[in-house]
Every structure is written in structure tokens, then in C-alpha cells.
């Protein structure tokens, strides 16, 4: 008899701080090469803050991230813009690495000091996304709302907690080490306490590289590899088709997905693999031998090798008609302790970038509404956000072209 998740569970997160200098290192705009498999992460890894697109979308995944949604409380539109300018300025400084001098001991210090006086860039990226609610009547921005930006609707099987969803501004803060992420959030928030209020926060981490090769995808908390079918980040034409909007922005989907890991752990391995459509060990499609091998769904029309309701078949049918529906996934695992029933609160911070949410993410999500895995997961938070293009230089701020022209 199949065990129901519900039966199993029953009863049981304004001015920029002046810096005395920018740390020496690579020229701005040079992306650090990812470390060799098993090598320590490079504190000097640096990604440009300014550029045609924001960092944190196609830059290499780092091990640690925090997603923090904010509500705008600025009294005027001018104050709102000054807050965004302060956030952009401080984020630009921190992502490039900086140092600061110890001033008068009777004055508040320029920095919290949790990383010392020499702050390495540590692969830090800060990515700004605007929620649909920012474009309501408060700041006169309704006419500037991106055409494809909406409030994330409830999907079948969702149980969205309003206190863990939506928001006017989402900051994705990612770096190689957790202390860099924590320091960055603290430094950013002290700039804008009169402009933005914390709405919700979720912390995420990547699993460690464990092979069998440096190109192997990381594992999620169900033990399966995640993001295998992502588009090639070196293919500019493909990114233009799937990720970037004409102005250089992108639509970001964030979903906090609770995974009932204790229930999942009681399911046979063969059933787990049939639900996913891949072997758990190597990540190869069922019947295949390597992770990135084409599953050739066209040669298995009756689902004799990969079930017709397997996750990989529904998420990416690999047909000509669905080729423009693919998204770029940049998810993180999370662990939030346990709930009031004593069950582990673990899961996935699902993050996807797409050119058109309705054409891509929403279409995929609706296809997945009847997959067997829905009995083991529940989306509980998140939202839709528009990530505007990058900034042109130190005098610019994220969103300036969208919001002021």
C-alpha cells in the first residue's frame, strides 16, 4: 500500500559607507576561474558588479546564499531611489573587495568588523529583483512595471505562507563563505533601515563537490543531482532566447520548497529513481550511463524505461515545441531545524531565471502538478521578481533606467 505524506505527517530577513581603498586583485570585470575539484575556495575570487547584466545569474554558483525580501517603507519616491542608490553603492564596494581605516574610537565604526579591516571579495554577488508590489500606487511607478511581472499565483499543491512570500525588493546575496554573506546582509541593511523593512529571509547552501568529475551537478536533499538540464551558459544565443529580456534583464522565480525528507527516506530506491527519471548515484537518465547523456525520450514513447510521469520527462519533454520553455536553475538547499511536529524542516530554495515566466516556468510548473513527487514536497514561500539590467558604473544604481526613464 502506498504511504500518503499527509497520513505520515498526521499526528506527528542612506548612504554608502566610505571605504579607504579597494583591495588589490584582478581588474574589475575579470571572473575568477572556479577552483579545482576539492581545492579551497578563493577569497580573492571577484565578479564585476557593473555590466550589461547583473552578476549572480550566469556567474558560477557559489556555496552560500541568502535570499532576503524587503518591503519599501520610504516616505517618498526620492527616498526610495536614494535607498536603492545606497544599496547599489555598498554592494559594489563589497563585491570588489575593500579595506577600511580605524577611525575615532568614540565614533561608530565604518564597518561591523566581522571580517576584519581587509574584506576579500570572496566571489560575492548581490542581485536585485523587483516585485510586482513595488509598482503599485505608492511611488507613482505603475506605468513602469515590466510587462511580464506579476504576483506569483498559487499553483496546485502549494501551501504558501504570506509571511514567507512576495515583497517589493529581493536581494540574492551569494558568496563562497557564509561569513561573507552574513556580513554583506548586515552592511546593506544598515544603509536603508528608513527605506526598506525585512519581510522574509531564507538561507541556502550548495552541497560540496564530491565527483565523480568537476562537472558533476550538486545534489539536493533528496540525494539526486539538480540542474543537469540547464542551458549552456557559454551559448550566448541560447541565453538570449531563454534568459535575457530585450533590455538585458531577466525574470527570477524563487520558491521555498519544503521536502519531507523523513518520508522520502522510507521509499525504495527504485521508486525514487522512477519518480525522478534518473539514477541517484550517477545522475544518468534511467537506462543510461552518464549524467549529461540525452535521455532520448523519443525512443521511449510508452515510458517503459523512464515513466511517463517522471520528473525529467515532465519538466523538459525535449521536443521542438517545448525547447523555448527551458529555464536556468540556480537552486540552493536549506535546513531550518524542525517544525512544531518534530519533523525536519529541510528543502530546496528553487531559483529559476527565464525570459518569460508564463511561457517558461509557469508552463513547466503546471505540467508537474500531477507528478508522483508532489506527495513528498510542498512549496511554502517565494515569489516572482524582475531583475533589471546591470549598472553602467559607480554613478549608476540598479533599476535607475527602469524606474526613472
Confirm whether 337 is domain-assigned.
Answer: yes
pLDDT digits (tens, 9 = 90+) for 27-59: 333 444 444 444 446 899 999 999 999 999 999
pLDDT at 23 over 90: no
Q: What torsion do the CA atoms of 34, 64, 131, 368 make, to the nearest 10 degrees? A: 90
In a domain, 5, yes or no: no
- The answer to whether residue 19 is domain-embedded is no
Q: Which of 25, 33, 189 is nearest to 120 (CA)?
A: 25
Question: Which residue segment(s) compose the domain that 248 sits in?
Answer: 54-404
Query: Please, which residues bridge with residue 325 across strands?
Result: none
Q: Is the pLDDT of residue 26 over 50?
A: no
- The DSSP annotation for 241-307 comes to HHT--TTS-EEEEEEEEEE-HHHHTTS-HHHHHHHHTB-TTT-PBTT-SSTTS---GGG-TT-SSS-
pLDDT tens profile 223-276: 999 999 999 999 999 999 999 999 999 999 999 999 999 999 999 999 999 999
Residues 61-102 have pLDDT tens digits of 999 999 999 999 999 999 999 999 999 999 999 999 999 988
Task: State pLDDT tens for residues 355-384.
Answer: 999 999 999 999 999 999 999 999 999 999
Closest by CA to 110, choosing from 119, 118, 100, 120, is 100
Residue 245 within any structural domain of the chain: yes
Q: In the prediction, which pLDDT does 79 show?
A: 98
State how many domains the chain has: 1
Query: Does a structural domain hold residue 6?
Result: no
Inform me whether the pLDDT recorded for 6 exceeds 70: no
- Domain annotation covers residue 275: yes
Region 172-191: what's the mean pLDDT?
97
The model scores a pTM over 0.95 = no
Please indicate, yes or no, if residue 23 is contained in any of the structural domains.
no
* Amino acid 30: pLDDT: 40
| Residue 3 resides in a domain | no
Amino acid at each position: 500500500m502506498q504511504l500518503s505524506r499527509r497520513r505520515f505527517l498526521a499526528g506527528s530577513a542612506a548612504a554608502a559607507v566610505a571605504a579607504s581603498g579597494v583591495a588589490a586583485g584582478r581588474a574589475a570585470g575579470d571572473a575568477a576561474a572556479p577552483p579545482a575539484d576539492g581545492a579551497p575556495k578563493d577569497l580573492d575570487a571577484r565578479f564585476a558588479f557593473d555590466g550589461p547584466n547583473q552578476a549572480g545569474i550566469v556567474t558560477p554558483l557559489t556555496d552560500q546564499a541568502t535570499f532576503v525580501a524587503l518591503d519599501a517603507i520610504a516616505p517618498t519616491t526620492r527616498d526610495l531611489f536614494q535607498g536603492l542608490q545606497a544599496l547599489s553603492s555598498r554592494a559594489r564596494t563589497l563585491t570588489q573587495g575593500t579595506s577600511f581605516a580605524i577611525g575615532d574610537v568614540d565614533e561608530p565604526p565604518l564597518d561591523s568588523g566581522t571580517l576584519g579591516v581587509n574584506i576579500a571579495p570572496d566571489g560575492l554577488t548581490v542581485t536585485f529583483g523587483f516585485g510586482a508590489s513595488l509598482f503599485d500606487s505608492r511611488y507613482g511607478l505603475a506605468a513602469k512595471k515590466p510587462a511580464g511581472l506579476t504576483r506569483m499565483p498559487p499553483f496546485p499543491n502549494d501551501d504558501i505562507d504570506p509571511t514567507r512570500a512576495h515583497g517589493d525588493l529581493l536581494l540574492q546575496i551569494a558568496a563562497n563563505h557564509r561569513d561573507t554573506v552574513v556580513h554583506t546582509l548586515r552592511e546593506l541593511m544598515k544603509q536603508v533601515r528608513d527605506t526598506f523593512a525585512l519581510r522574509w529571509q531564507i538561507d541556502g547552501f550548495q552541497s560540496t563537490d564530491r565527483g565523480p568529475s568537476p562537472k558533476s551537478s550538486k545534489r539536493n536533499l533528496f540525494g539526486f543531482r539538480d540542474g543537469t538540464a540547464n542551458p549552456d551558459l557559454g551559448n550566448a544565443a541560447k541565453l538570449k532566447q531563454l534568459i535575457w529580456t530585450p533590455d538585458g534583464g531577466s525574470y527570477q522565480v524563487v520558491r521555498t520548497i519544503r521536502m519531507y525528507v523523513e518520508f522520502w527516506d522510507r521509499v525504495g530506491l527504485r521508486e525514487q529513481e522512477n519518480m525522478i527519471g534518473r539514477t541517484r548515484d550517477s545522475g544518468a537518465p534511467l537506462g543510461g550511463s552518464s549524467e549529461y547523456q540525452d535521455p532520448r525520450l523519443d525512443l521511449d514513447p510508452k515510458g517503459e524505461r523512464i515513466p511517463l510521469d517522471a520528473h525529467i520527462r515532465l519538466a523538459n519533454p525535449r521536443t521542438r515545441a517545448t525547447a523555448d520553455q527551458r529555464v536556468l536553475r540556480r537552486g540552493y538547499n536549506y535546513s531550518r531545524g524542525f517544525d512544531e511536529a518534530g519533523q525536519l524542516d529541510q528543502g530546496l530554495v528553487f531559483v529559476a531565471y527565464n525570459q518569460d515566466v508564463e511561457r517558461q516556468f509557469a508552463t513547466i510548473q503546471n505540467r508537474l502538478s500531477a507528478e508522483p513527487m508532489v506527495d513528498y514536497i510542498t512549496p511554502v514561500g517565494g515569489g516572482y521578481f524582475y531583475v533589471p539590467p546591470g549598472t553602467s558604473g559607480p554613478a549608476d544604481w540598479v533599476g535607475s533606467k527602469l524606474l526613472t526613464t
